[in-house]
Amino acid sequence: MDVIMDTEAIEDVPHSQPDGGGGGDASVPMETDTPTDSLQLSISISGTPSPLLTLKTTDSVTGTSITTSGLQKLTAPFTISAANHQIILNKVAQATEAAKAAGAAPQVLKQDGQKLLVTTIGKPGQPIVLQLPHAGAKPGGAKPGGAQAPGEPKSPTPQFKVVTIGGRAEQKPAVSGAANQLPTLQAQQLKTVQIAKKNPTFSAAPIKLIIAKTVNSKGLSPQTSVPSVITGRVLTQTSPVVPPRTITLSEPHSTSLQSLPGKKIAISPLKSPSKVTVVSVASPTSNASQKSVTLPVNVALGQQILTVQQSASGSPVKVQTSQTSAQAVKPGQSVAVGSVGGSQFKAIIPLAAQPNVQQIQVPGSRFHYVRLVTASTASSTGGTGGTGGAAGTSGASTSSKPMVVSAGPVRMSVPIVPAQTVKQVAPKPLGSAPQVVSAAQTQQRLIMPATPLPQIQPNFANLPPGTVLAPAPGTGNVGYAVVPAQYVTQLQQSPFVTLASSSGFPAAPGIQTQARLPVNGLPAAEASSRPRKPCNCTKSQCLKLYCDCFANGEFCNNCNCNNCFNNLEHETERMKAIKTCLDRNPEAFKPKIGKGKEGESDRRHSKGCNCKRSGCLKNYCECYEAKIMCSSICKCVGCKNFEESPERKTLMHLADAAEVRVQQQTAAKTKLSSQISDLLMRTAPVVSSGGGRLPYTFVTKEVLEATCECLLEQAKRAEQAQLPAPEAERLVLEEFGHCLMRIISSAAKAKADCSSMSC
DNA sequence: GAGTTTGAAACT
DNA sequence: CAGTTTCAAACTC
């Protein structure tokens, strides 16, 4: 399975934060003024050509949205089963074979438009939405708890169910094609995951799974006070062919995650250590003999983890808690399964098992794409369930045997948005959340424990983006990957970004891409305009802040470094180095140039520079390099990098002039080129119509030599006049243009003469 | 491209 | 926290 993770700063939510009372207010204002970009991960489960995962990014400011799809396609259909604290996706195709052997009827999900959209949690406007389109109407009264935008279309046609985790309610619709608006709720307020899928039995009956997780609002009662029903919703779909059902899982209290599955990938924004997105991925080994396939993928956004575990249909999925009662859900019946105390908000998505985590970096970007590695053993996948009695995944995982999820490559892009805004989760009344559950032959369980991940979060909070944590001993092959956020920008610019990780998918171990992240506080767009410079580290192994790649939370890619450890092959060392850096300076991976709220004028170096000899007017100075003024916090000596500095003004003017010259030269070259092309185009008809000779046919050797002499002469004159290089170049180009014009004129004249002479 | 300068990061 | 060393980028020739 491949996972692309976006690392935006995801705020680490303290465990102690109170959960919102049952009625979390979805409209709680975001605390951060971060952009309202939204990321959506769409996963379509089916053997159909529809993309398995679709990653969509919406810029709330511009309103533009980019959808990345067609990544990896699952050859085998999936069924979705909800288990305690887990979302279990049953892979039908593979399960089918096993089912055949076992005599169980294979389950196939209709692939039409089935998508799983995951919106990031945390950053306002950047909700992680896990969606599955559903064709059926929501059950009466079922409501996402305000997670859905008011304008959401209710057309019977397959729609994307928007799962919004955090984000601003005013966020623009992220899905254009789906015609569904993704209301972005503040991470702190509501986290809702809606999954709609069609009946796994090939029937057109849509199956809709809606998981709504409410974010605790501040001041709300702690999780414990919330009814168990609200906390940790478990949706189980056991009945075979059944009318579409909607299951709404609302997790009121997600503030504290207490337990993590042994296999996890943590994605955390480097820039803001405090904000971490954790994605855990566990991949069980494939076992052809078994019916069920469990490929758990835990995605924790901020403090929350979504775990989707795939189990074969009919395979007994353990329902550890009373939630299992939901298994016998009747068609059209909406079921809210009891809460899992202390359970984590998890979505377990079975993915192809691949033993390794691979990194993908997009050059010039600071985003890290991490290929999640599957767990070697199924047992490892189990036990991921939430704390307390909620058995969660453990039962399911144990029951199901490891399988490679998809025969074909599976790609999964997981954008991670900063969870800065997510601090508390207000539990949302279960009743308020829409619940639609369509029965499927296979059990479907959705478990969305809202409990925080205490053991993990603290560790990931300060991890820089791109960090991949090696799996803990005995936990299987699951590791944690910390990825820088600000993934949206990259997605907007390059929709590709995916890693294929299924067994069938080529490992592509060397593939690395980097996402664009703000550089030195510059806007992502600005930073993205130029490619990241490759480092040349020789002694630091690229594991110290000397290395720009490492400092920016990026993996080295196309660098000139020696003995580089800043890659997934040395994840252990890298993680250790990151930890060391963070121990030394918790702010080590944060941008040095803080973004001014009101604009560039407010940007300044977080620590200030210490220049002594450069006058802060050379790129040695971090302030000057960032194109900002030195501030009072700088300790520089002889600073000339202040507003009224004449030296600075001179430099700026020179720099501007140089830039203008470059632009002029570029424009001149472009113009000349276009003129030449235009001339050739205009002269071309002469041949066809009049049968005359093209002007360039007059460019004989002699003409060429003469032209070159003219150009050289012009250059000599410019040199003698001591003209600046740009001016000299301009003169030469002009002379070249004159030469061309003379050639063309001669050609025209020759043609006219020839015509008059009837030649 | 080699060598020097520079200042942040790392170390003591 | 201050001084020193290390390091890699920026700069010069």
CB A78 within 8 A of CB A46: yes
- Greater confidence (A515 vs A709) lies with A709
Mean per-residue pLDDT, A660-683: 75
Tens digit of pLDDT for each residue in A75-124?
333 333 333 333 333 333 343 444 444 444 434 333 343 433 333 333 33
Please report which confidence band the pLDDT of residue A695 belongs to, taking 50, 70 and 90 as the band edges. Answer: low
* Average pLDDT score over residue span A636-657: 86
A503 DSSP assignment: S
| Whether the predicted pLDDT of A543 surpasses 90 | yes
Tokens of A628: 């900002």
A310-314, A583-587, A752-756: the lowest-pLDDT one: A310-314
A266 by DSSP, 3-state: which? Answer: strand
pLDDT(A427) > 50: no
Give the number of other CB atoms < 10 A from CB of residue A360: 29
Q: Which bases of chain B come closer than 7 Å to a protein CB?
A: 5-11
CA of A541: nearest nucleotide by C1' is C7
Q: Is A129 helix (H, G, I), strand (E, B) or coil?
A: strand
Mean pLDDT, residues A321-349: 37
**pLDDT reading at A246 higher than 70:** no
Q: Where are the domains of chain A?
A: 1-532, 533-584, 649-756
Q: Please state whether strand B lies within 7 Å of residue A154 at its CB atom.
A: no
Residue A479: is its pLDDT beyond 50? no
CA of A616 to C1' of B4 (A): 18
Query: Residue A558 CA to nucleotide C2 C1', Å?
Result: 39
3-class DSSP assignment, residue A725: helix
Residue whose Cα is closest to the C1' of B6: A620
Distance A526 CA to B9 C1' (A): 26
pLDDT of the residue at A756: 63
Which of residues A300 and A483 earns the better pLDDT score? A483
pLDDT in tens, A728-741: 888 888 888 888 88
Kindly tell me if the per-residue pLDDT of A720 is higher than 60: yes
In this model, does residue A14 exceed pLDDT 70? Answer: no
Residue nearest to nucleotide C7 (CA to C1'): A546
Residue A545, class by beta-carbon neighbours within 10 Å (0-12 exposed, 13-18 middle, 19+ buried)? Answer: middle
Of residues A726 and A449, the one with the higher pLDDT is A726
| Contact flag, residue A621 CB and nucleic strand B, below 7 A | yes
pLDDT at A671: 81
Q: Is the pLDDT of residue A608 over 70?
A: yes
Is the CB of residue A653 inside 7 Å of nucleic acid strand B?
no
User: A411: which DSSP letter?
Assistant: B
Cβ atoms < 10 Å from Cβ of A222: 17
Q: Give the residue with minimal CA–C1' separation from B11.
A: A584
Q: What would the mean pLDDT of A53-63 be, rounded to a whole number? A: 39
Q: Is the pLDDT of residue A449 over 50?
A: no
In three-state form (DSSP H/G/I as H, E/B as E, the rest C), the secondary structure along A531-584 is CCCCCCCCCCCCCCCCCHHHHCCCCCCCCCCCCCCCCHHHHHHHHHHHHHHHHH
CB A751 within 8 A of CB A730: no
Residues 509-568 (A) near nucleic chain B, CB < 7 A: 544-546, 551
Mean pLDDT across A299-316: 35
Q: Is A500 helix (H, G, I), strand (E, B) or coil?
A: strand
Q: What is the mean pLDDT of residues A681-694?
A: 51
Question: What are the Cα distances from residue A35, in Å, to A60, A61, A171, A369, A373?
Answer: 7, 8, 10, 21, 31
pLDDT of residue A683: 56
Separation of A365 CA and C12 C1' (Å) = 31
Q: Is the pLDDT of residue A54 over 50?
A: no
pLDDT of residue A702: 81
Confidence of residue A618 (pLDDT cuts 50, 70, 90): very high
Q: How far is the CA of A71 from the C1' of B6 (A)?
A: 46
Q: What is the pLDDT of residue A149?
A: 37
Distance in angstroms, CA of A571 to C1' of C4?
A: 31
| CB of A622 within 7 Å of some strand B atom | yes
Look at residue A451 in the predicted model and tell me its pLDDT.
32
Percent of chain A with pLDDT over 90: 7
- Quick one: pLDDT band at residue A682, thresholds 50, 70, 90? low
Chain centroid offset of residue A645 CA: 42
Stated in angstroms, how far is A602 CA from C12 C1'? Answer: 34
What rounded mean pLDDT belongs to chain A? 51
For residue A518, pLDDT over 70 is answered with: no
Asked if A79 and A87 count as a contact pair (C-beta separation under 8 A), the reply is: no
Question: Is A417 in contact with A122 (CB distance < 8 Å)?
Answer: yes
Rounded mean pLDDT of A536-556? 92
**Residue A736 and residue A384: Cα distance in Å, rounded?**
72
Identify the weakest region by mean pLDDT among A498-502, A513-517, A686-690. A498-502
Q: Picking from A466-470, A489-493, A706-710, which range would have the lowest pLDDT averaged per residue?
A: A489-493
Does A670 contact strand B, using a CB cutoff of 7 Å? no
Strands A358-361 and A304-309: unpaired
Residue A442, token pair as written in the block = 């296979």
Q: How large is the average pLDDT for residues A495-500? A: 32
Q: CA A618 – C1' C12 distance (Å)?
A: 13
Residue A725 has pLDDT above 50, yes or no: yes
pLDDT in tens, A590-601: 888 776 544 545
Distance C11 C1' – A618 CA (angstroms): 9
Residues with CB under 7 A from strand C: A 533, 535-540, 542, 544, 546-548, 618-620, 625
Distance separating alpha carbons of residues A523 and A532, to the nearest angstrom? 14
Closest CA-bearing residue to C1' of B8:
A546
Q: Which nucleotides of C are covered by protein (CB under 7 A)?
A: 6-11
pLDDT of A21 over the 50 cut: no
Spell out a b/e string for A557-591, using b for 16 or more CB atoms within 10 Å of the CB, else e.
bebebeebbbbbbbbeebbebbbebbeeeebbbbb
Q: How far is the CA of A584 from the C1' of C1 (A)?
A: 14
